[in-house]
Structures are given as C-alpha cells and as structure tokens.
Structure 1
Amino acid sequence: MIGDRRILAIVPARGGSQRLLAKNARLLAGRPMVAWTLEAARGSVLIDHLVVSTDDPAVAETAAEMGWPPPFMRPDHLSGATASVIDAIEHALDQVGGRWDYVVLLQPTSPLRTASDIDQAIRLCDETGAPAVIGVSPLPKPPSFYGRVDAAGGYTPGGVDLERTVVINGAVYVGRPEILMRDRTFQSKGVRAYSMPVERGWDVDTPAEFAVCEALFPFQAVEPT
C-alpha cells in the first residue's frame, strides 16, 4: 500500500503453451517457474493482495504450497491460446471484488524480476500520475550490430535510433483499473517506462529461452529459503 492506495497483484498462469508445454509449472533452478514470480511478489512491500489466475492444477498446487490464497480457476474461454490477458485481469478483478487503485500484472514467464523491480514500478506510476507503467529493457546488442535490409537483400548499417529504442520485457506492468478496463491495454496515452537490464527482464516462451534463463539464474536461487 502507498498511503491509502490499494494495490492488487495478478499472476496469470494458464497451463497451455504452444511453444513450451506446461512452462509455468516446469522446474527452473529447482522450483516451478511460477514460484519465482510468487517469491518476488512476497518480497514486495507495496502489494496488498495477490491472486493467481490459472487453469492448471499444478500451478494452483504450487501457489497453495507457498501459502497464497486459492487461485481463481479460469473458465474455458480464458484458457486457450487466444485468451486475452486483459480479459483474464477483468475476470480476476470481478472475482476478488473491492476497490483497487493499482493492478500489477506479474507474468510467470519473467522469473528473474525482483521485488524491488515490482515496487519501483508501482512507485513510478504513483509518483508520476501515469495511467500505467510497463517494464522495458534495452536492445540486447550494441548499436553497431543493427542495420537495415532493403528489398533486394542489401544491408545498410545503422539508420535506427537505438539510443531510445527499447523492448517491452513482460516482467512488470502497473495500471489503474478504470483506465485499463476502458482502454483494454496498458499502453494508454501517457504510459511510462520502467527500465530494467536485459538479464532481469528475460522472457521465457521457448525451450531455448528457458535454457538461457536457467543459465542466467543467480546460483543462490537453486537453494530456496
């Protein structure tokens, strides 16, 4: 909580995945991948309440073992590959009820983000009055690696404003529920960026990305406390 502002965190963790089967429950550095996001949320000093939105019994079991409230089991129309994360957030808001000043979306596919990242993103949204904050990371290669390919296949170096170009990393989203539900996106006019290093913003969607993430994982994370 910040002052009298109430903060709800939502962890969307459906069971299906087209590129990495059951990835949210897959063991990463000794724990189900979703557990690392739940652990980071536990370390937040600002989150007032957290809910897990899932259709996967394995994810629900992990959340229960960690002492979190029972997850909201998604209806079938929110469980397929075409399910919208905004629809899942709306469903969770309807299920939990009450008044919330901020919604924090924590995707389990970003297991390297920290509790500090979560709290700094929330504070950035609150202090700036922005409708939302989105976690971003710089491009993974230095500017000299980028260029353009023309229609004939020719390569020209540069030509891109790399000093200001970033990628949305998926690690943390903060939004004001009324604006989020109105616009159906975190990218409303006035959205602010919370900058993170590439390593903490790593997003897992494929077996190769999973392997890299495990290699990036801090050694001490293998032995959870």
Structure 2
Amino acid sequence: MKTIAIIPARGGSKRIPEKNIQLFGGLPLLVHSIQYAQANASIIGDIFVSTNDATIKKTALQFGAKVIDRPEELSGDLEPTVTSLKHVLETIEYETENVVLLQPTNPLRPIKLLQEAFEIYQAENSDSLFTVSRNYQKFGKILNDQFLPFNYEIGQRSQDLEPLFFENGLLYITKAKLILENIIISKSAFPLVMNHVFGQVDIDTQEDLDYAEYLFKKTIKYEN
C-alpha cells in the first residue's frame, strides 16, 4: 500500500506576505509540515510540495521534499485545495492508494497524531479521515438588530452545551481515488476528535502567527 503526503503551498499570500516561508520556530513555516511527514516515514513514502513559487520550491527541496510545479490557473485565491492534490496525483509517475494532506498553515501537530489516525483509518476501513475539535463557544445570529442564540439558550452554562465540533485542519487522510473525483472529505469520512490546543492554530493573520509562536515556545518541549 502506497501512502504519500502532499503539502499545498502556493505563493502570493496577501494577509501575511510570503506566509508559507515566514520564519516560525526558527524554520520556514512550510518546513514544519515537511519534517512532520519525515518523522512518520513508517507510514508516508514520498513527500510532495505543490507550489507555484520559486522560493517555496527552493525551500522545499532544501529540506528534502519533492516539488510539483503548480500551474498558475490552479493557484488563485479562490482555488479549492483539492485541485492541487489532484494535480499532484495526475503528475507523478506511479499510482498511490492514500494521500495525507498536511497544510503548512497548521504547523503544530501532536507527534503521535498521524500514527494514531492512520491506525483508526485502517481499522475503520475508511475512505477518508479528518481531525476535528470540540467547540465551547455560544453562537448566534443577529437579525433585525436582535441576537438569536444558535446552539444554546440564554443563561445556559457553556459546559452544558450540546457538543458541536469544527474541522481544525491539522490532518486529512483520503483515498487517492476520491481526490481524483475532487473529494477530500467523503460523506462517510471518519471525524477524529482531538481536543488539543494545537487544534486552535490555523495561521491566516499575523496575530495567528504570533499565537502559534507563543504555543510553540510554551508547549513544544512537552511533545514527545
């Protein structure tokens, strides 16, 4: 069974210029996902970075990943992630069964997460798996200047909320054949609950990057 990792890392980010190669923990942001894949070599074979950017390409090659040059028509702000994954599968010269998607904007992952997730993925005979975190916030809508609670009743304690979960972006495992059909998360995908502070990190703004750096310095030494 062949399993590869794909890290989509296009250039041209706007909120944080050159986001994917911003220094984080002393290394370009992208590199943390490359090294995470390398640390799971018992599961992952080749590691591919899909990019349209020359500097990102140079960085990825320097740290031991293979690079697939992404066409500009697949590199726009509104382009879905799945098209870059599909392009990789259509470009490489061999067939693979599973794809592990690692987003560079989620650089902090529990070290044993992939191993545990892949075991569940196989045991459940899943066609896809993704990580989720529980939400403890009280949501509502504002209509006609009136706040309408969505997931609670006014006065209800947070700990008594009906459990809701969000896709945290840390890890995806998907059958390659699904990606070729433009699907990352199938209707029967296994939602792996992992209530870890790293699930709160998804870097889009400078504030996100600063918070991730804080967590990295504070907690990474405890991850084994």
> Cα 1:73–1:162, aligned 2, differ >3 Å: closer, same or farther?
farther
Question: Hey, what's the Cα distance between the residues in 1 that align with 2:32 and 2:195?
Answer: 18
Structure 1: segments with no counterpart, 5+ residues: none
Structure 2 CA distance for aligned equivalents of residues 163 and 121 of structure 1: 25
Q: Which amino acid aligns with 1:59?
A: I
- Match in the other structure for 1:176: 175
1:32 Cα deviation from its structure 2 partner: 0.5
| CA deviation vs aligned residue, 1:74-123 (integer Å, no higher than 9, x gap) | 11111221222111011101111322111111000000014422222222
Q: CA RMSD in A?
A: 2.3
Q: What corresponds to 2:53 in structure 1?
A: 56
Matches within 5 A, 1:146-225: 146-149=138-141, 151=143, 152-154=145-147, 156=149, 158-159=152-153, 162-182=161-181, 184-201=182-199, 202-218=201-217
Stretches of structure 2 that go unaligned for 5 or more consecutive residues are none
Equivalent position of 1:95 in the other structure: 91
Paired with 1:16 and 1:111, the residues of 2 have a C-alpha distance of: 19
Q: Is residue 2:67 matched to residue 1:79?
A: no
Quote the offset at 1:149 in angstroms: 4.4
TM-score, normalised with respect to structure 2: 0.85
**CA 1:126–1:148: 2 relative to 1, 3 Å:** same
Q: Which position in structure 1 is the counterpart of 2:114?
A: 118
The question of whether the paired residues in 1 share the 8 Å contact of 2:98 and 2:176 is answered with: yes
Aligned residues: 212
How has the CA–CA distance of structure 1 residues 7 and 162 changed in structure 2, closer, same or farther, with 3 Å as cutoff?
farther
- Shift, 1:46, TM fit: 0.6
Partners in 2 of 1:220 and 1:115 — Cα distance? 12
Conserved 8 A contact 1:18-1:81: no
Closer, same or farther in 2 for the Cα pair 1:66/1:149, shift >3 Å? closer
CA distance in 2, matches of 1:22, 1:64: 17
Instruction: Please say if 1:136 is aligned against 2:135.
Output: no
Residue 154 to residue 54, structure 1, CA distance change in 2 (3 Å): closer
The aligned amino acid for 2:5 is: A
Within 1, Cα distance between the matches of 2:217 and 2:124? 32
Query: What is the rounded CA distance, in whole Å, between the counterparts of 1:58 and 1:162 in structure 2?
Result: 46
